[in-house]
């Protein structure tokens, strides 16, 4: 292959479903502070953003946000492995992509949680780099996480970012790479189509699209 593709994946809503673990962590934080719990819809609409942004957007006073995050992380730490699954086609997508591309993960989860999850789900071995919130100063939609992943992989061309939110697409555009939106996560197709270079239903469909675009090189 003359120019081996590089494919970066978001996690939540793209490859994995950790909705239950995320919701339970948020519910516990609000309960312990005796504040009215947000709805599932309100929380899910913010998944993909850093925790501090999520809690602030849900009305948590600034001086309490660190406390909310600590409670959330304590609950999440206890339950995230048992309450997270691969989305349909997730394993197949990564396995198929690994046969012709360099693979990486760019997420707003911490890299420790991300690596533990990927190992538990049996797919960590396919990725040459995992960039989490703790690895960068500025998370998505800033391009820093993508650029850091590409620096590790050592690639500057034929690069794709697969994610389920406009933040993934915005980071990709700022980094100068092709963005693929997937509708299996937390954002509507309509919103994804406003910014993504291509939109499809799942990570597996995204990989099939990339294969089609690179067929001359495979």
Output b/e per residue, 16-44; b: 16+ Cβ within 10 A.
bbbbebbbbbbbbbbeeeeeeebeeeebb
Quickly count: other Cβ atoms within 10 Å of residue 57's Cβ. 14
Quickly count: other Cβ atoms within 10 Å of residue 207's Cβ. 28
Q: Which of 10, 17, 75, 135 is catalytic?
A: 10
168 is catalytic: no
164 is catalytic: no
SS3 content of the chain, % helix, strand, coil (to 5): 50, 15, 35
Quickly count: other Cβ atoms within 10 Å of residue 191's Cβ. 15
Burial of 128 (0-12, 13-18, 19+ CB in 10 A): middle
Structure tokens given for 63: 């001086």
Q: Which of 3, 12, 134, 197 is catalytic?
A: 12
* SS3 readout for 144-177: HHHHHHHHHHCCCCCEEEEECCHHHHHHHHHHCC
Helix (H) or strand (E) holding 198: strand 198-200
Catalytic positions = 10, 12
């Amino acid at each position: 292959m003359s120019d081996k593709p590089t494919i970066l994946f978001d996690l939540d809503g793209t490859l994995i479903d950790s909705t239950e673990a995320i919701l339970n962590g948020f519910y516990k934080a609000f309960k312990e502070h005796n504040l009215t719990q947000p709805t599932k819809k309100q929380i899910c609409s913010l998944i993909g953003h850093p925790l501090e942004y999520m809690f602030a957007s849900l009305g948590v006073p600034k001086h309490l946000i660190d406390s909310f995050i600590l409670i959330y992380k304590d609950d999440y730490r206890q339950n995230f492995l048992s309450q997270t699954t691969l989305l349909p086609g997730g394993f197949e997508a990564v396995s198929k992509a690994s046969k012709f591309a360099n693979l990486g993960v760019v997420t707003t989860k911490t890299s420790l949680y991300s690596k533990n999850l990927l190992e538990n789900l049996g797919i960590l071995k396919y990725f040459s780099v995992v960039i989490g919130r703790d690895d960068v100063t500025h998370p998505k939609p800033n391009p820093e996480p993508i650029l850091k992943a590409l620096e590790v992989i050592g690639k500057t061309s034929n690069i794709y970012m697969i994610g389920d939110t406009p933040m993934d697409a915005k980071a990709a555009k700022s980094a100068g790479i092709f963005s693929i939106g997937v509708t299996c996560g937390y954002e509507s197709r309509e919103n994804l189509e406003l910014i993504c270079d291509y939109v499809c239903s799942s990570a597996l469909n995204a990989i099939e699209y990339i294969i089609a675009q690179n067929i001359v090189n495979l």
